[in-house]
Amino acid sequence: MGWIIWIILVLVIVLVVWLLKPRDQGGVYTPYFTRLNQALKDARVGRARILIDQERLDHNLAVIQGNIPSPQHYRIVVKSIPCIELLRYIKAKVDTNKFMVVHEPFLKVILDNFEPGIDILLGKPLPIFACEEFF
Residues facing residue 119 across a β-bridge: 98
Residue 55 is assigned to a structural domain of this protein = no
Residues facing residue 78 across a β-bridge: 101
In tens, the pLDDT along 36-87 reads 888 888 989 888 877 889 999 999 999 988 888 877 778 899 987 788 999 9
d(CA 57, CA 94) in angstroms, rounded, equals 11
Domains held by the chain: number: 1
Mean pLDDT of the chain: 86
In tens, the pLDDT along 103-114 reads 888 888 899 999
Residue 11 is assigned to a structural domain of this protein = no
pLDDT band at 123 (very low <50, low <70, confident <90, very high): confident
Residue 16 is assigned to a structural domain of this protein = no
Three-state SS at 33: helix
pLDDT band at 1 (very low <50, low <70, confident <90, very high): low
Q: Which of 71, 116, 69, 125 is nearest to 97 (CA)?
A: 116
Residue 135 is assigned to a structural domain of this protein = yes
Residue 47 is assigned to a structural domain of this protein = no
d(CA 104, CA 17) in angstroms, rounded, equals 43
Strand segments, DSSP code E, in 1-135 are: 76-78, 98-101, 119-122
Pairwise pLDDT comparison (105 vs 31), residue with the higher score: 31
Residue 104 is assigned to a structural domain of this protein = yes
Residue 105 is assigned to a structural domain of this protein = yes
Residue 27 is assigned to a structural domain of this protein = no
Q: Which of 60, 59, 42, 40 is nearest to 50 (CA)?
A: 40
- Domain, as residue range, for 96: 72-135
Residue % of the chain over a pLDDT of 70: 99
Q: Which phi-psi region, left, alpha or beta, contains residue 71 (left: φ > 0; alpha: ψ -120 to 50)?
A: alpha
d(CA 102, CA 122) in angstroms, rounded, equals 6
